[in-house]
A = this chain, B = another copy of it.
Amino acid sequence: MTQPFAPPDPPYYAVVFVSLRSGDNPAYARTAEKMEVLAREHPGCLGLDSARGADGLGITVSYWRDEESIRSWKSDARHLAAQILGATAWYSAYSLHVAHVERSYRGPRAIV
């Protein structure tokens, strides 16, 4: 079973991507899965958590060592193509937050 990402010692970055699917598209699942794999492999990526509910709202949080890694992944050619498809065909709405993580906890036992 997929476990929540185990946070490293801060500071690190989190990119929160919230999206609402505009309908079913057979290409979507394949591309979304591929983008998760590519993001995880991208230099500077520490990990990723992703969930999508039955109402179509999804949240993906990717964790990064620094701003440079985030910029580099944003401009990856395969990711750019997926961003265009997402913005024009797959999502009726989305938001993205780039954030500097200042502290983190993990449980059931708090380790911080």
Contacts and interface: CB of A to CB of B under 8 A. Distances in A.
Contacts of A82: none
A33 interface: no
Interface string A1-30: 111111100000110101110000000000
Given A49-B18, A102-B100, A95 B57 contact: no
Contact of A102 (B1, B55, B99): B99
A61 interface: yes
Contacts of A96: 104-106
Interface of A: 1-7, 13-14, 16, 18-20, 49-59, 61, 63, 87-88, 91-108
20 contacts: A1-B20, A1-B57, A4-B18, A5-B18, A7-B95, A14-B99, A16-B49, A18-B61, A51-B59, A59-B61, A88-B108, A94-B106, A95-B105, A96-B105, A97-B101, A97-B104, A98-B101, A98-B104, A99-B101, A99-B102
